[in-house]
Structure 1
Amino acid sequence: MATTQHIDLILINGYLEALDLAVIEQMLDLYIEQSALYLTAINRAVVNMDEKAWQEQCHKMKGAAASTGLSQVHQKLLLIEKSHEDAETKAQHLQALSLLNQQAIAAFQQWFAEQ
């Protein structure tokens, strides 16, 4: 898995210059917890066919992914946040987003292990 494919190394290395490695680890841990909550809320929005909740939760997760440096997750959320597709298509987006999120977290953890 290519770390640079999933994470914004310029942003993360900038954090590394300004912050202790332990702070970056806490940031990742917080993102992992929050992203699970966002994904659950996004799923609930799909099930309830709640367009407003879909957009709100995608927007929140998009910001969290961007500030954590998970560039591909951020890009995926940019694409789907304002989509007005049917529930089946949104469920497919959610499945792809969940997988992408797992891959990005693994890439970040791999980067962290190499520091």
Structure 2
Amino acid sequence: GYLSVRALASDDNMYLLIYRSDDSGQTWTFHNAVQDGRDFDFYSLDEGWMAAGTNLFKTTDGGATWFLSVMTGLPAGEFLLKLDFVDDQHGWVLATPDDETWDPLKLYQTDDGGANWTHLLP
């Protein structure tokens, strides 16, 4: 499984620190650090998504490499705060145009692996 911690570094940047366990959480190994990382979600040991600033990234190799997802339906400049995927096609993302106040919060959904997004709320 995976675990994340958000940390403020000495360079005043926020990082998402990702740790991985291959023994049901008995031990954890540092896996990756992502500047401006907000959230990540793995729906299998190898496949997952990560929100970093206004970008969404996908991995198919357990986070060793990340690929920028080209998104249709998410307005440019929306900060991606939280995400949840149930499989490789279906997921949701919580976004906001204002990274300071998080107002308003907007919910989007995809059913085609993140290629297209539909605005659900508000």
Q: TM-score, structure 1 length as denominator? A: 0.23
| More strand as a share of residues | 2
Q: TM-score, structure 2 length as denominator? A: 0.22
Higher relative contact order (CA 8 A, sep 6+): 1
| More helix as a share of residues | 1
